[in-house]
Chains A and B, each alone.
Chain A
Amino acid sequence: MLNAEVLNNNDTVGELYARFGASSFAVQACPDNTPTLWVERSQLIAVLQHLKNQFPMLLDLFGVDERLREHKPASAKDYTVVYHLMRFKPVAEIRIKASVCADDISLPSACGIWPNANWYEREAWDMYGIEFSGHPNLRRILLPPTWQGHALRKDHPARATEMAPFSLDDEKQQQEQEALLFKPEDWGMQRATDDTEFMFLNLGPNHPSVHGVFRIALQLDGEVVVDSVPDIGYHHRGAEKMAERQTWHSFIPYTDRIDYLGGVMNNLAYVMSVEQLAGITVPDRAKVIRIMMAELFRISSHLVFYGTFAQDVGQMSPVFYMFADRERLLGIVEAVTGGRMHPAWFRIGGVAQDLPKGWDKMVREFIDAMPARLDHYQKMAMDNSILKQRTVGVGAYNSQEAMDWGITGPSLRATGFDFDLRRDRPYGGYDQFDFEVPTAHNGDCYDRAVVRIEEIRQSLHIIRQCLDNMPAGPYKSEHKLTTPPPKERTLQDIETLIHHFLNVSWGPVMPAGEASFPIEATKGINNYHIISDGGTQSYRTRIRTPSFPALQQIPLISNGLMIADLIAIIASIDFVMADVDR
């Protein structure tokens, strides 16, 4: 089997075997060829600590409820926690899994190894009730503190109709009200020191500059932020739970709404994972169409970033120009997909339709006009001395800190770390394209903007290559799990008709297994870890988004600065609350 070979030739796994003994590990074969090892709870921390030297980033940490899983790996007990680690040069990933029984549901915390494990472990506790011993602050993170049960457990209802009707009696209302009361001590804040009394400011969840429903509690001394604690979960819609009741195909529109500025970029991350699982190879035309649309959305997302970035440091006009450009861009998206922000247009095995007539003219007009406009914006916004004063040297972190906190994408490249999955581990046809990976040096607010703006230019360059070299051929794979399956031959032979009928009515049945596929999305690495139990629905869909760890890091870079700086930092991070809460 391919997977065993890969594992045996893997240096990391070899080292682990040498250090801890091969019998400490159980290997799970995954269709995506990522080494996946099960370890016992007693050895978990030692193994992770050992791996930290080679894998500086904890890409993801999540729970799985294994209780109803039919094709359960031999080592799985009731609940599993998956540690997904990544290194960058050369790119490699490894998954470590540890399983616990329902009656002893505790694992040691990894917060001491990777600081960003903090929120991930809180999420795993929130969703599955998995306890992490040694965690400094194991509270609910996405669901409200008064929530009953753990929402992603298989026995927790997925819909309101599966629960008793909701009613809010006086007692319950009282409880809910009390849960909202702000007690600084609960947030790890001091009310006063000997000579200063602090003011607490509740910034958000409704505030003009937090880009959605994001709350950050501030401990202020005058206008100086002494301490800040981000609070998320106001945009939580349970996308991961929904994935477990949608078919593989019908989940695609939900992915659009994860990073709602990224449009088809989300589709791409999802369908790539499913295709890994199903073993589908996508034809060239579909690949190039996907890259073109994904890069268009990268531009769209970065334009929104650019405009709101300038707006949040108090510059009124740029945002209107950027949104006008984005409008032109969405016009192209509309012509091609029929949708605008949420096109839901990629399909398992290809895309929904072929490109419409005249697409090339529209795209060419857009990419011809953009560079001059970007030059104009450069003068208008980025070269402005007040904007520089507000952002240069504000909210800086270095590459090492970025690694520790799981920061990826443009925010990582702004620290001077030259890494881009599109170039360093090309996927979906990116190896055929010529583009630069822009980086900056200081990792401050200004540099984060500089990198993104240069990425717009690079994306234009990629789109031009798509335009000039669009291959002919089918826009959808011939594979039997391609959804919806090709219709042309269905009326000629009964086998194809049956397949078509089943795949369209029930949805495709994906082979049991696990796969994930990290891609370079607009804001960083986006990864769907999907587990199929051999059904028409996903057994577990885990969505790793770049915005989630970025928010966790805010206190690190903003404590000690002023409120206005905090706003500049928030603007420069480029997050979307839907991408954080999912």
Chain B
Amino acid sequence: MSDLNTIIFGLVLIGGAVGGAAVLTWFERRLLGIWQDRLGPNRLGPFGILQVLADMLKLLSKDDWVPPFADKVVFVFAPTAIVVAMLLGFAVVPFSPDLMIIDINIGLLFFLGMTSLAVYSVLLGGLASNNKYALLGGLRSAAQMVSYEVFMGLSLMGVVMLSGSFSLRDIVEAQSDMWFFIPQFLGLYVFLIAGIAESHRLPFDLPEAEHELTAGFHTEYGGMKFAMFMLGEYLGLMLISCMIVTLFFGGWLGPWLPPVVWFFLKVFIVICFFILLRCAIPRPRYDQLMSLGWKYMLPLALLNLLVTGAIALSMEG
């Protein structure tokens, strides 16, 4: 793509991602409603979709308030960080063979780096609020995300071995014979769980844990700053879904339909799956989540790495 096209596409992507996240809030509520034997927001506009607009108007018109006891600069910076980091993460997502902003040879590492940056947002938000619930939420997020980060990265190394590249375009193309979710089912399993933990959604929403910490790290947030956190969370959900599709389900690959349609179709299904998880599973306790991570997920990720490596070597040799 030419530079101009890239800039235009970049802007479209930002708009699309943010808009998509907004629509996703409505979509999730409707879908949860169906699964939970109720309606969800169905009044405003066709199928209630204008609810998104109403919510946005409401959040925009709220008083932009910073608690007097908070650390003001960090308090304002924190919610921005997550949105920026997540949006940057989209830069490396290959939507189709030629529809992506940039194809860098360390695309996968870039994605991991951006999701790691998002941790700071939650952590700083929790600390800057100067609120005990927020502090506990921040503590939980620090522990949870840092440990899940470790095997999130490890779980993807199998994919890298099989494709021989960190470039996301190469990884997708390497799946033309077989999607990686078959040889890398362990990697997928670990990445999926780490992905939920990274985007801190139920069942792993411990930093937020409404029933324990009222609202955890964003207890003191309201209005647009709160909306930014939510936006970041939904962007994270979309980004993780995009990555799952790219890394394990052959990205844009698929017969008949144009590549980009295949991509979005797959992403849509993965998002629905995430919503279903939220709907169905209770929240483990903080220490249980930690021991799940270190005692089960990390060995699994290492085992996967070992086996994949052994097979890759033997096939070369």
A551 to chain B, nearest CB (A): 18
Q: Are B285 and A390 in contact (CB under 8 A)?
A: yes
- Of the listed stretches A272-280, A281-289, A562-570, chain B binds A562-570
In the assembly, what is the distance between CA of A311 and CA of B202, in Å?
12
Given the known interface contacts A209-B211, A324-B38, the answer about A315 and B286 at a Cβ–Cβ threshold of 8 Å is no
Given the known interface contacts A207-B214, A208-B214, A317-B280, the answer about A562 and B37 at a Cβ–Cβ threshold of 8 Å is no
- Of the listed stretches A67-75, A355-363, A381-389, chain B binds A381-389
Given the known interface contacts A223-B286, A317-B280, the answer about A564 and B212 at a Cβ–Cβ threshold of 8 Å is yes
Q: Quick one: which of A199, A384, A562, A564 contacts B132, CB cutoff 8 A?
A: A199
Given the known interface contacts A320-B37, A563-B136, the answer about A313 and B283 at a Cβ–Cβ threshold of 8 Å is yes
Q: Quick one: which of B38, B281, B286 contacts A564, CB cutoff 8 A?
A: B286
A565 to chain B, nearest CB (A): 7
Q: Are A311 and B211 in contact (CB under 8 A)?
A: yes
A486 to chain B, nearest CB (A): 45
In the assembly, what is the distance between CA of A222 and CA of B142, in Å?
13
Question: Does B287 count as interface, using CB distance less than 8 angstroms?
Answer: yes
Q: Are B288 and A389 in contact (CB under 8 A)?
A: yes
In the assembly, what is the distance between CA of A459 and CA of B203, in Å?
33
B136 and chain A: residue at smallest CB distance: A223
B279 and chain A: residue at smallest CB distance: A317
Q: Are A389 and B284 in contact (CB under 8 A)?
A: yes
Given the known interface contacts A223-B136, A386-B283, the answer about A314 and B209 at a Cβ–Cβ threshold of 8 Å is yes
Given the known interface contacts A201-B132, A317-B36, A321-B37, the answer about A386 and B214 at a Cβ–Cβ threshold of 8 Å is no
Considering only residues 164-217 of chain B, those with a C-beta below 8 Å from chain A are 202-203, 205, 209-214
Which of B212, B279, B283 gathers most chain A CB within 10 Å? B212
Q: Are B282 and A387 in contact (CB under 8 A)?
A: yes
Given the known interface contacts A317-B280, A321-B37, the answer about A389 and B285 at a Cβ–Cβ threshold of 8 Å is yes
A391 and chain B: residue at smallest CB distance: B282
Question: Does A316 count as interface, using CB distance less than 8 angstroms?
Answer: yes
Given the known interface contacts A201-B132, A208-B211, A314-B211, the answer about A564 and B35 at a Cβ–Cβ threshold of 8 Å is no
In the assembly, what is the distance between CA of A321 and CA of B35, in Å?
10
In the assembly, what is the distance between CA of A422 and CA of B284, in Å?
38
A395 to chain B, nearest CB (A): 13
B215 and chain A: residue at smallest CB distance: A208
Question: Does A312 count as interface, using CB distance less than 8 angstroms?
Answer: yes
B143 to chain A, nearest CB (A): 10
Q: Are A390 and B284 in contact (CB under 8 A)?
A: yes
Q: Are B287 and A562 in contact (CB under 8 A)?
A: yes
Question: Does A94 count as interface, using CB distance less than 8 angstroms?
Answer: no
- Binding site secondary structure of chain B: helix
In the assembly, what is the distance between CA of A469 and CA of B35, in Å?
39
B140 and chain A: residue at smallest CB distance: A223
- For B133, what are the chain A residues with a Cβ–Cβ distance below 8 Å? 201
- For A563, what are the chain B residues with a Cβ–Cβ distance below 8 Å? 136, 212-213
- For B209, what are the chain A residues with a Cβ–Cβ distance below 8 Å? 314, 564
A396 to chain B, nearest CB (A): 16
B282 and chain A: residue at smallest CB distance: A315
Q: Are A316 and B214 in contact (CB under 8 A)?
A: no
> Size range of the interface on A?
20 to 34
B210 and chain A: residue at smallest CB distance: A208
In the assembly, what is the distance between CA of A440 and CA of B26, in Å?
43
- For B214, what are the chain A residues with a Cβ–Cβ distance below 8 Å? 207-208
B288 and chain A: residue at smallest CB distance: A389
- For B205, what are the chain A residues with a Cβ–Cβ distance below 8 Å? 314
B233 to chain A, nearest CB (A): 15
Q: Are B211 and A312 in contact (CB under 8 A)?
A: yes
Q: Mark A368-405, 1 if CB is under 8 A from B, else 0.
A: 00000000000010001011011000000000000000
- For A320, what are the chain B residues with a Cβ–Cβ distance below 8 Å? 36-38
In the assembly, what is the distance between CA of A30 and CA of B302, in Å?
76
Question: Does A269 count as interface, using CB distance less than 8 angstroms?
Answer: no
Q: Are B212 and A316 in contact (CB under 8 A)?
A: no
- For A380, what are the chain B residues with a Cβ–Cβ distance below 8 Å? 280
A202 and chain B: residue at smallest CB distance: B132
Q: Mark A484-513, 1 if CB is under 8 A from B, else 0.
A: 000000000000000000000000000000
Q: Mark A294-324, 1 if CB is under 8 A from B, else 0.
A: 0000000000000000111111110011001
B218 to chain A, nearest CB (A): 14
| Interface residues on chain B, number (Cβ under 8 Å) | 30
In the assembly, what is the distance between CA of A384 and CA of B205, in Å?
18
Q: Mark B263-290, 1 if CB is under 8 A from A, else 0.
A: 0000000000000001111111111100
A97 to chain B, nearest CB (A): 44
A418 to chain B, nearest CB (A): 30
Q: Are A567 and B279 in contact (CB under 8 A)?
A: no
- For B287, what are the chain A residues with a Cβ–Cβ distance below 8 Å? 562
In the assembly, what is the distance between CA of A387 and CA of B287, in Å?
14
In the assembly, what is the distance between CA of A563 and CA of B214, in Å?
12
Q: Mark A183-219, 1 if CB is under 8 A from B, else 0.
A: 0000000000000000101100001110000000000
- For B36, what are the chain A residues with a Cβ–Cβ distance below 8 Å? 316-317, 320-321
- For B132, what are the chain A residues with a Cβ–Cβ distance below 8 Å? 199, 201-202
In the assembly, what is the distance between CA of A314 and CA of B284, in Å?
8
Considering only residues 204-236 of chain B, those with a C-beta below 8 Å from chain A are 205, 209-214
A389 and chain B: residue at smallest CB distance: B288
- For A201, what are the chain B residues with a Cβ–Cβ distance below 8 Å? 132-133, 136
A317 to chain B, nearest CB (A): 5
Q: Are A314 and B283 in contact (CB under 8 A)?
A: yes
A1 to chain B, nearest CB (A): 56
- For A223, what are the chain B residues with a Cβ–Cβ distance below 8 Å? 136, 139-140, 286
In the assembly, what is the distance between CA of A567 and CA of B133, in Å?
14
Q: Mark B6-48, 1 if CB is under 8 A from A, else 0.
A: 0000000000000000000000000010011110000000000
- For B280, what are the chain A residues with a Cβ–Cβ distance below 8 Å? 315, 317, 380
- For B279, what are the chain A residues with a Cβ–Cβ distance below 8 Å? 316-317
A337 to chain B, nearest CB (A): 26
In the assembly, what is the distance between CA of A92 and CA of B302, in Å?
65
In the assembly, what is the distance between CA of A567 and CA of B167, in Å?
46
Considering only residues 203-245 of chain A, those with a C-beta below 8 Å from chain B are 207-209, 222-223
In the assembly, what is the distance between CA of A384 and CA of B283, in Å?
11
Q: Mark B64-82, 1 if CB is under 8 A from A, else 0.
A: 0000000000000000000
Q: Are A314 and B202 in contact (CB under 8 A)?
A: yes
Q: Mark A549-582, 1 if CB is under 8 A from B, else 0.
A: 0000000000000111101000000000000000
A381 and chain B: residue at smallest CB distance: B282
B135 and chain A: residue at smallest CB distance: A199
Q: Are B285 and A564 in contact (CB under 8 A)?
A: yes
- For B203, what are the chain A residues with a Cβ–Cβ distance below 8 Å? 314, 386
Which of B202, B214, B284, B287 gathers most chain A CB within 10 Å? B284
In the assembly, what is the distance between CA of A384 and CA of B140, in Å?
24
In the assembly, what is the distance between CA of A387 and CA of B203, in Å?
11
A570 and chain B: residue at smallest CB distance: B211
B29 to chain A, nearest CB (A): 12
- For A384, what are the chain B residues with a Cβ–Cβ distance below 8 Å? 281-282
A224 and chain B: residue at smallest CB distance: B287
B219 to chain A, nearest CB (A): 11
B213 and chain A: residue at smallest CB distance: A563
In the assembly, what is the distance between CA of A564 and CA of B208, in Å?
12
Considering only residues 389-446 of chain A, those with a C-beta below 8 Å from chain B are 389-390
Q: Are B278 and A316 in contact (CB under 8 A)?
A: yes
Considering only residues 108-125 of chain B, those with a C-beta below 8 Å from chain A are none
Q: Are A386 and B282 in contact (CB under 8 A)?
A: yes
- For A313, what are the chain B residues with a Cβ–Cβ distance below 8 Å? 211, 282-283
Could you show 8 A-B contacts with beta carbons less than 8 Å apart? A207-B214, A222-B139, A223-B140, A223-B286, A316-B32, A320-B38, A390-B283, A563-B213
Give the A-binding residues of B (Cβ under 8 A): 32, 35-38, 132-133, 136, 139-140, 202-203, 205, 209-214, 278-288
For the complex with contacts A386-B281, A386-B282, 19 further pairs of A-B residues with Cβ separation under 8 Å are A202-B132, A207-B214, A314-B203, A314-B209, A314-B283, A315-B280, A316-B202, A316-B279, A317-B32, A317-B35, A317-B280, A324-B38, A384-B281, A390-B285, A562-B286, A563-B136, A563-B212, A564-B285, A567-B212
- Which 4 pairs of residues, A with B, have the shortest CB-CB distance? A314-B283, A315-B282, A320-B36, A314-B282
